[in-house]
Structure 1
């Protein structure tokens, strides 16, 4: 396989955009080449097959959606209070909305994983590692609450983001900032 990592990243980004726009069925090497603006056949030089393309896109989504380390360091300079957890959840919401295609592509991969056992295994491992990392980060940082708090925040924020990004009219009349505050307040009562 070709080892130009910048090109591989550009192709993975293109795959994410295709997944978000056209769904898993629309994810073809040709569609990725077109989205990336590269010659036909380029993606097939970087990914062994469609399963490899899906798996690599899944791994890259988590890179795209991760917080910027320098920004996270600045936020974490604050005292470890309940207010910091509110800030972290609002930052999470902002990141997911800023990369709408990345989050929608992740949802597409979740659906596709129900039909592809190898993808399900890979995606499950990645999501499990991310959840464990979030629990460890929260507890190691000395944030209020514990593992159960992180679990409640994870599942509630996931549901809120899915609703907001896929069927936003359901939330008409509800302020997304207030909803995030309600989620955190429920997971971390005074």
Structure 2
């Protein structure tokens, strides 16, 4: 397998776009090569099989959605109030919906994981770790609410994001913002 990290990343990003545009059934090495603008056969030189490509695409979505240390530092500097949690939840929804192909690709990967136990294991591990990082951050930061509050916010906002990306006419941006604020107000003491 080839080891050029920039090329591997470009192919993985192309796989995310193919998943979002064509679904899991459309994810082929040829489609990834075309989307990445590389010669036919390139993706198969970087990934031993389609399962490896699916798994790497799932990991890459989380890398791209990571807010980064600057955003974490800003979050830690906020007052320990419900208003700060509200701000952070709005920022998170905005960050995720700004990368729609990533979230749509993740939905495709979740569906595909119902048929692929190895992919299911990888996604479960990633999402469990991501949720635990969010819980740990929330608790360590001293923001109001407990671990269950974070889980409830995760579940509710995850579906709100799905609605926003798959049925964008259901809740416009203003309604989405109102729903986030209401949710936080009801969950945060």
Q: TM-score, normalised by structure 1?
A: 0.95
> Residue 179 in 1 paired to residue 179 in 2?
yes
For residue 30 of structure 2, what is the aligned residue in structure 1?
Answer: 30
**Distance (whole Å) between structure 1 residues aligned to residue 172 and residue 2 of structure 2:** 48
CA apart distance, 1:187: 1.3
Structure 2 gaps of 5+ residues are none
**Distance (whole Å) between structure 2 residues aligned to residue 103 and residue 173 of structure 1:** 17
> Residue 156 in 1 paired to residue 156 in 2?
yes
Residues 129-154 of structure 1 show CA distances to partners (whole Å, capped at 9, x for unaligned) of 11111111110111111101101100
Over 3 Å off, 4+ runs: none
**Distance (whole Å) between structure 2 residues aligned to residue 160 and residue 56 of structure 1:** 26
Question: How does 1:49-64 map onto structure 2 within 5 Å?
Answer: 49-64=49-64
Structure 1 gaps of 5+ residues are none
CA apart distance, 1:172: 5.6
Aligned length: 189
RMSD: 1.3
SS of corresponding position for 1:171: coil
Q: TM-score, normalised by structure 2?
A: 0.96
Q: Which moved more, 1:28-37 or 1:63-72?
A: 63-72
